[in-house]
Structure 1
């Protein structure tokens, strides 16, 4: 009888590796590629696109790696033990706990689902879900690098994001209903070795966050080139329309929170307040988050939670910008 074929133990070259190679080639060959692009508008597009990627990728990689470490090596039961028993006090405590999770919003959704399964009050888990991608040290450091001449942007972003997270947690505590949340399934990482779980989590985050970063950088470059400057100036000059426009843009671009500050910095036509709203809304409400929340918590949850979060984020971000910027 013929022997069974040996299992394929070689490392597969998948989509994550393809993305990584393309990004490296894009950076290394930036000079030759620029010479091939003769049109001034295309050169501007290439410059903006590559600049956003070069600045953002180190923060993205570092954040994904740390997020995978925490997801694999920190017991989920730790969060339930660390939070106060009283729900009203657990909400701000869970929001502040987001400081210790250096990752993007892709990781916060399944972690919030795990917290609810382990007995954490949903209001506290949701406050953590909103705060973790917005106030962790990686995101705030990236914001400081993207806005070197405006250090108040870091304070405004961290403070406004934490306020939105706590307000939404308290609103859910007051108005939310248990039947609106579908209990999440067990995480796919369970049952795997720590090494395999780490690489699975890291590959998943890089696949999602890295892909959306590329799309966001391309969109930012396109806005700078395709949209007539007169239109942008007219929109940017209107304080109300500029805030609403960048809030909607944050939802559509679905950027990773470790990289969105660099895209916001490139939108220099808009006021600091408008760009602050962009940074507050993005990690809390965007297309990929709404999709993930629907899959983890159910459609009834997402249909209520996302619109209210958007409204609160726009309001708080606008007030914070008016006061601090």
Structure 2
């Protein structure tokens, strides 16, 4: 009987193990291939995905099938009024929205974040008003101000100054104030009132944070996804993101404003408008619920002509600082503990300051 060398035996066993593993791997790959072919079979029948062309074709077919009911609905005077209000708000607001988003993307991509920490005073109490005034150079809505404020905190800027900038930027930048002037051509005091009230609220909230805020209420944001991306690509990505999100909220806000003008009975609005306290509270709550971008909210406020200028000023001051989309963004960037404390406080301060400024200027 021939003896087998131990090393040779080990080599044979290793070779057999490799063969078995290779066979098992081939079997698994074959099974996976079969599964993929099974999943891809419907795709070959119906296409890889349903695109915009398919959706458009379905919409056109539905329009043809239901052309008579649609024609009757369009001829309804209430629907015509709704369409008129909606289109007028959109036509006036969209140019300001697009221009503001583009400039905001330029600043966010091409201006180094370290610039802000160098430009602000080292003393926190002095940094708050400087950061509030710096909001003038950010022509964008609150959608862009939230991530920038998070970046400022991550770069070492005191949270009080970053939060003051967060509140002031969407409300006092030139695009928003110009849009307000266009929306209220016969009331230039609305532009002054909005700028002054918003600036005061931003500084008060910054100083309140210095006094009462706690560091553990803020969850520091992660590094932005656009870091490391080429500037041109980052710019267009920021523009597309902001236009889609801000434009979507603008459409919803314009639809809500048109619906309010058509569905809500005139006597209800007049009842709220005739009561100074109820009109202020109603428009403050409405600003939170509509979540309209600051470049467009002035046109919606102008359409609510039943209400006093002071109550509409409250609407314009509250909207860019406290609304549903802004609260959700703050919760995502800074944490829910922060949003649950910061949003209600800002809401109360906005109402008080806007009413005081309205009484003096309007």
Q: Normalization by structure 2: what TM-score?
A: 0.80
| Cα distance between partner residues in 2 of 1:303 and 1:87 | 23
- Pick one of 146, 149, 173 that aligns with 2:210: 173
| Cα distance between partner residues in 1 of 2:284 and 2:232 | 39
Aligned to 1:279: 316
Instruction: Give 4+ residue runs of structure 1 displaced > 6 Å after superposition.
Output: 33-36
Alignment gaps of 5+ in structure 2: 1-49, 56-69
Alignment gaps of 5+ in structure 1: 1-12, 19-32
Contact 2:139 2:170 in 1 (8 A): yes
Give the length in aligned residue pairs.
297
**Superposition deviation, residue 14 in structure 1:** 9.1
**Superposition deviation, residue 309 in structure 1:** 0.2
| Cα distance between partner residues in 2 of 1:131 and 1:201 | 21
- Trace 1:29-40 onto structure 2 (pairs within 5 A): 37-40=74-77
Aligned to 1:67: 104
* SS of equivalent residue, structure 2 residue 226: coil
Aligned to 1:124: 161
Aligned to 1:99: 136
Aligned to 1:223: 260
- Pick one of 222, 230, 233 that aligns with 1:196: 233
Rg (Cα) greater in structure: 2
- Pick one of 170, 173, 184 that aligns with 2:221: 184
Contact 2:73 2:79 in 1 (8 A): no
Aligned to 2:288: 251
* SS of equivalent residue, structure 1 residue 63: helix
| Cα distance between partner residues in 1 of 2:225 and 2:170 | 21
Change (3 A) 1:270 1:113: same
Contact 1:34 1:46 in 2 (8 A): no
Contact 1:157 1:276 in 2 (8 A): yes
User: Is 2:330 the counterpart of 1:288?
Assistant: no
Contact 1:180 1:298 in 2 (8 A): yes
Aligned to 1:143: 180
Could you give the per-residue CA deviations for residues 212-262 of structure 1, whole angstroms, max 9, x where no partner exists?
A: 000000000000000000010011000000000000000000000000000
| Cα distance between partner residues in 2 of 1:133 and 1:205 | 13
**Superposition deviation, residue 53 in structure 1:** 0.1
Higher RCO, 1 vs 2 (CA within 8 Å, ≥6 residues apart): 1
| Cα distance between partner residues in 2 of 1:128 and 1:324 | 24
Could you give the per-residue CA deviations for residues 190-221 of structure 1, whole angstroms, max 9, x where no partner exists?
A: 01100110011111111111000000000000
Aligned to 2:298: 261
| Cα distance between partner residues in 2 of 1:188 and 1:261 | 32
Aligned to 2:335: 298
**Superposition deviation, residue 36 in structure 1:** 7.2
Aligned to 1:206: 243
* SS of equivalent residue, structure 1 residue 103: coil
Change (3 A) 1:152 1:35: farther
**Superposition deviation, residue 38 in structure 1:** 1.1
Contact 2:301 2:312 in 1 (8 A): yes
Could you give the per-residue CA deviations for residues 71-104 of structure 1, whole angstroms, max 9, x where no partner exists?
A: 0000000000000111000000000000000000
* SS of equivalent residue, structure 2 residue 107: helix
Contact 1:34 1:43 in 2 (8 A): no
| Cα distance between partner residues in 2 of 1:318 and 1:44 | 32
Change (3 A) 1:163 1:221: same
Root-mean-square deviation (CA, aligned residues, Å) is: 1.6
| Cα distance between partner residues in 1 of 2:73 and 2:346 | 45
Aligned to 2:198: 161
- Pick one of 342, 351, 354 that aligns with 1:314: 351
